[in-house]
Structure 1
């Protein structure tokens, strides 16, 4: 059995899927802006009970790395790291934009995935028909001339993701394929692709509350 567990908590949702190869055995995706840390372990337990698969039986665990909310991305990555370490299973990280762009319905098309980063910013990533891709980019809605220039350099056939409406006017004639969050099936397929060993998270914004470093004394400093 090629048991793959995938986790997505990057875009105001909590999703978990358990697959045998690319065949889905268990899937659950629930919209939520908070509470992923409580819901995710329950989903995992439900998946293992429903399928009879134990964590040690997994071949790989895949998790989305963002762009996404600070809390959501941290919850998913922390849970995935803990489960992978405890079970001795390989862990793979997948960018949320890449997961959106790899929906099965988009195969063979030049496309761009888009996520609303808030505060007038939109995160984008372009892919060609063979899945070759450029690095993610940030577009600022306050500078339409720069978005237009970006569009001229990056022709696409289809735009996908939860922020399609924010950029559609700059790519007239292209098709729209909105997605609220990444497909767990796409995430499952990406876990076995090369190039997903980097687990560095990508946050839309840092947490609102940042721990203060005032008053911290380094052990290397003299008293």
Structure 2
């Protein structure tokens, strides 16, 4: 089972190739803006350098969000284009679930994992997972204040991580049950592909014609200012 995975949910643009759940190759760019050309180049590189061709893929996986509106559009559009062109199925993976997969083996069983993606002002996109990878609280947009996550912190140690965790640390950093890892955790196709392997094996695929990213919130635009004459 050969799966190509893409993640452009945030400023990290990453592509990975897995065979039967084993990582064969991964390319990541830590840049401010992802472009379709950059992503296409990474796809070509990871497939070629691992000795495969696109025709040999069994499926294409993509981080579905939440995250950057523009980044998600690029990643999902590219994944759908590959699926149509190659006649391959599409697998969608929640970005926060893939982030939790990166660290879940490092904490005791009673710990909750709360990956966070920065939104606007004091808002984050977050979800809660246990150390077995099971979702405990679904993905939501949360405005961080002193009362945030009180119920969870009263019952479990909670690990807050991702680029939105700094907002949480400023408010909850002194809580005895709140844990903030020093090592940065960013979305990556490495764990998107790992989770996609299980989803694909269990028949959880998407229709490329109708699938849309999980934006969580509507895209906000600003009106251009009128020129002053």
Superimposed CA distance per residue, residues 98-152 of structure 1 (whole angstroms, 9 cap, x where no aligned partner): 111111x3235421111111232111100123222121122213x433x153544
How far apart in 1 are the matches of 2:155 and 2:37?
41
Residues 65, 73 of structure 1: 8 Å contact kept: yes
SS in structure 2 at match of 1:102: helix
Residues 139 and 153 of structure 1, relative CA distance in 2, 3 Å threshold: farther
SS in structure 1 at match of 2:65: coil
Structure 2 residue corresponding to 1:106, chosen from 100, 104, 107: 104
1:181 maps to: 186
How far apart in 2 are the matches of 1:136 and 1:70?
16
2:213 maps to: 201
Deviation at 1:93, TM superposition (A): 0.8
SS in structure 2 at match of 1:11: coil
2:197 maps to: 192
Residues 150 and 140 of structure 1, relative CA distance in 2, 3 Å threshold: farther
Pairs within 5 Å for 1:43-192: 43-103=42-102, 105-107=103-105, 108=109, 109-133=111-135, 134-141=137-144, 143-145=145-147, 147-152=148-153, 155-168=156-169, 169=172, 171-177=175-181, 178-192=183-197
1:41 maps to: 40
1:216 maps to: none
Residues 100, 179 of structure 1: 8 Å contact kept: no
Residues 7, 188 of structure 2: 8 Å contact kept: no
Superimposed CA distance per residue, residues 59-114 of structure 1 (whole angstroms, 9 cap, x where no aligned partner): 221111111111100000000001012111121111111111111x3235421111
Residues 76, 212 of structure 2: 8 Å contact kept: no
Structure 2 runs not aligned, ≥5 long: 224-229
Residues 22, 185 of structure 1: 8 Å contact kept: no
Deviation at 1:44, TM superposition (A): 1.1
Residues 124, 139 of structure 1: 8 Å contact kept: yes
Deviation at 1:54, TM superposition (A): 1.5
Residues 63, 93 of structure 2: 8 Å contact kept: yes
Residues 13, 36 of structure 1: 8 Å contact kept: no
Residues 49 and 35 of structure 1, relative CA distance in 2, 3 Å threshold: same
SS in structure 2 at match of 1:114: strand
